[in-house]
Each structure stands twice: as C-alpha cells, then as structure tokens.
C-alpha cells in the first residue's frame, strides 16, 4: 500500500512539472499585435495560392508545403499567434484582403507601385520571370524582344501578365508581330494548358519555372526576365509593422538566410525588410 501510494505521488509530481511549465510558457508568450487589428483573435490569417512550388504547394498527402508556408509559421511563432492559411486563387486575393477575409497575402506576389497604394506591402526576396515550353520543343527565344508572333499562357492578374502586356505594347510601337496572351486563374491551369497545346509557351515566376524544369515538366527558353521584389501584403499597418520587425529579427539570427537558402530563393540585396510604398491612400 505504501509503495503504491509512493508511486502515485511520484507520478503526480512528474505530471505536475510539465503541466506547470506549459502554463508558465503560455503566460510568457504575449501576442505582439492587438486583437483589434486582427481578423480573428489569436491568429494571423494569410492567403496563399498553393500552385507554385517551391514557394507554396500541396504535397501528396494533401498538406501545404513550401517556403512561404514555412515563413508564415515562423512569423506566427515570433508574433505569438497561430499562423492560419486561407487557400484562394490569386485574382480574388486583393479584394478579399480589403474585405477583411484575412490579415495578409502570402503567395509570392510581385511588388508594384500600384499595389503598394492599396495595401501595406513588405518585399522580402527577389524574383523574376521564366519563359518555358514543353520538353522537346524546338523553339528558341533569344531575348525579350523576340517575344513576338507566338501565344503565351500566364496566371491572371499577375506581375508576369503585366510584364508581357508591356512587351506587347513595345511590339506594337516597333511594328513587330503581336504576342497573344492567354490568362488562367492559377499556375496549375497554365501548366495544364501548356500540356494540352492551347498555347506555344508559358510564363512563370522563376522559382516555379525552375522547379518545373528540375522536375522535367518543361524546358527553359528565356530565364530571369523582369526582376522585381516579391512581397507579403497586409490590410493593417500595425500588423505590417509587427511583421517587419519579425522579419528583421529573422535576418539577425540567421533564420532568413536558412529558409531562403533551403528553397534557392534570391535574397533582397540590402537584406533589410521594410514597408515599401505609401500604403492605402
């Protein structure tokens, strides 16, 4: 009886140690963002379009994976908030952000001055555009000026679509043959259209283009065009300021380098994270 009682006391003591430690840990972790600035208390909700490996994609088990998913988790930890991902096609994201469906956009969005006037934009890496074709294609493209007299698939409302439209304006101004641009809601649908022969070539962000080349799904025709920062975007400046601090802390302790190196992403040359642009006006 005494031995059994002693074992019970020891078991309770063992259990009490971790439980009390968990309570202390929870008490020392205070969210850095007021709940009034968040869509849902205790969470930072970020949208993503999981069709662009290696930044964001769904693996064979249905789990979200990729660099931006890892960054979201790290930011959530540093902000003492649960990072929650909202899956959504890219064209609907800015409108949904304005409607407070979530706190921010985390989908590898290219920076533009126009976008920086409607939300709080935070560039954190560099990206560019790859022009690709199906394996075995005999087509060659020497430069961006050679993007004429062909059809090209691209994700709708994307930086790469805008860049291609600028190339088409240049074609018209210089009397060159036209470029036919076909837009699709997701990068997955662009890839499906390329495989189906709906257009000649496709334009992807270079992190996705490189992943598709590595997987043997496409062949590279014209890499790294129109380099520009890629960013996260937020509806609240208070949230954006907290994310900026967390990112710069990640730079100081080496987490930023580790995560971006893991996925082969190009870092910002200055390696300083800051809000860029005027924000909503």
Q: Which of 127, 116, 107 is nearest to 57 (CA)?
A: 107
Going by C-beta distance under 8 Å and a sequence separation of 6 or more, which residues neighbour residue 276?
A: 111, 116, 121, 122, 123, 229, 231
pLDDT at position 28 is: 65
Looking up tokens 């870092």 gives 267
Torsion angle in degrees (nearest 10) through CA of 59, 193, 154, 95: -70
Q: Which of 234, 240, 229 is nearest to 274 (CA)?
A: 240
Q: Is 89 exposed, middle or buried (0-12, 13-18, 19+ CB in 10 A)?
A: middle
pLDDT tens for residues 203-229?
999 999 999 999 999 999 999 999 999
Instruction: Work out the number of other CB atoms within 10 angstroms of the CB of residue 171.
Output: 17
What are the residue ranges in the chain where pLDDT is below 50? 1-27
pLDDT at position 100 is: 97
pLDDT tens for residues 180-197?
999 999 999 999 999 999
pLDDT at position 29 is: 86
For 90, the token pair is 């890219």
User: How many residues are present in the chain?
Assistant: 281
**What are the Cα distances from residue 130, in Å, to 31, 141, 268?**
40, 11, 19
Class of domain 129-228: alpha beta
What are the sequence ranges of the domains in the chain?
28-126+229-267, 129-228
Strands 219-234 and 104-110 come out as: antiparallel
Tell me how far apart the terminal alpha carbons of the chain are, to the nearest angstrom. 75
Got the DSSP string for the chain? -HHHHHHHHHHHHHHHHHHHHHHHHHHH---SS-GGGSSSTTEEEEEE--EETTTEEE-TTS-EESHHHHHHHHHHHHHTSEEEEEE--GGGHHHHHHTTSSSEEEEEEEP-TTGGGTSEEEEEEEEEEEEEE-TT------SGGG--SEEEEEETTSHHHHHHHHHHHHHHHTTPPPEEEEEESSHHHHHHHHHTTSSSEEEEEHHHHHHHHHTTS-EEEEEEEEEEEEEEEES-HHHHHHHHHHHHHHHHHTHHHHHHHHTTPEEPTT-----BS----
Instruction: List the beta bridge partners of residue 84.
Output: 45
**What are the Cα distances from residue 122, in Å, to 58, 144, 206, 210, 238?**
25, 28, 19, 24, 13
- The CATH classification number of 28-126+229-267 equals 3.40.190.10
Gap between the Cα atoms of 141 and 222, Å rounded: 6
> How confident is the prediction for the chain on average, in pLDDT?
90
pTM for this predicted structure: 0.81
């Amino acid at each position: 009886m005494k031995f059994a009682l002693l074992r019970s006391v020891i078991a309770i003591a063992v259990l009490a140690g971790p439980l009390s430690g968990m309570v202390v840990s929870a008490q020392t972790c205070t969210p850095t963002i007021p709940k009034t600035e968040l869509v849902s208390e205790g969470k930072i909700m970020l949208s993503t379009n999981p069709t662009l490996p290696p930044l964001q994609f769904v693996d064979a088990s249905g789990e979200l994976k990729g660099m931006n998913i890892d960054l979201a988790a790290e930011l959530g930890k540093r902000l003492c908030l649960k990072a929650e991902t909202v899956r959504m096609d890219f064209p609907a994201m800015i409108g949904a952000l304005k409607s407070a469906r979530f706190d921010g956009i985390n989908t590898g969005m290219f920076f533009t001055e126009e976008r920086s006037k409607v939300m709080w934009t935070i560039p954190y890496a560099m990206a560019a555009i790859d022009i690709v074709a199906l394996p075995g294609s005999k087509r060659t493209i020497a430069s961006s000026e050679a993007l004429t007299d062909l059809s090209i698939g691209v994700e709708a409302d994307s930086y790469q679509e805008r860049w291609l439209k600028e190339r088409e304006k240049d074609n018209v101004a210089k009397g060159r043959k036209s470029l036919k641009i076909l837009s699709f809601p997701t990068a997955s649908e662009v890839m499906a259209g390329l495989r189906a022969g709906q257009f000649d070539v496709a334009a992807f962000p270079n992190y996705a283009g490189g992943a598709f080349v590595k997987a043997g799904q496409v062949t590279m025709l014209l890499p790294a065009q129109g380099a520009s920062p890629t960013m996260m975007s937020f509806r609240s400046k208070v949230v954006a300021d907290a994310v900026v601090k967390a990112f710069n802390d990640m730079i100081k302790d080496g987490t930023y380098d580790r995560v971006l190196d893991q996925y082969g992403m190009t870092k910002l040359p200055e390696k300083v994270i800051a809000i860029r642009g005027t924000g909503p006006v």
